[in-house]
């Protein structure tokens, strides 16, 4: 069975469920999601995390993460 059929508990990023990785920081999560755009706002369970704290803040299990990409471009 391929990976995308697997129902995971874990974390929700922008409304999509993904695996939780122990001790994963926001910076690492963004890399895993291939979110390379620099203008992002990150909230964990509705709480805004400052950009300077991305390398240090660890994403807890069962959390809801919002990675809001600003519009830019266009």
* H or E element, residue 27: helix 26-32
Say whether residue 72 binds another protein (CB under 8 A): yes
Q: Give Cα 63 distance to the centre of its chain.
A: 9
Question: Collapsing DSSP states into helix, strand and coil, what is residue 65?
Answer: strand
Separation CA 45–CA 38 (nearest Å): 21
Say whether residue 6 binds another protein (CB under 8 A): no
Instruction: Dig out the tokens for 28 from the structure.
Output: 């690492």
Nearest distance from C-beta of residue 22 to another protein, angstroms: 25
Instruction: Tell which one of 28, 35, 54, 57 touches another protein (CB under 8 A).
Output: 35
Instruction: Tell which one of 8, 19, 39, 61 touches another protein (CB under 8 A).
Output: 39
Report the interface residues with another protein, using CB under 8 A. 2, 4-5, 14-16, 34-39, 41-42, 48, 50-51, 66-74
């Amino acid at each position: 069975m391929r990976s995308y059929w697997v129902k995971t508990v874990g974390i929700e990023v922008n409304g999509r469920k993904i695996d939780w990785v122990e001790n994963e920081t926001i910076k690492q999560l963004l890399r895993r999601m291939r979110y390379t755009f620099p203008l992002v706002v990150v909230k964990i369970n509705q709480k805004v995390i400052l950009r300077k704290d991305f390398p240090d803040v660890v994403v807890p299990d069962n959390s809801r993460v919002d990675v809001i990409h600003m519009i830019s471009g266009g």
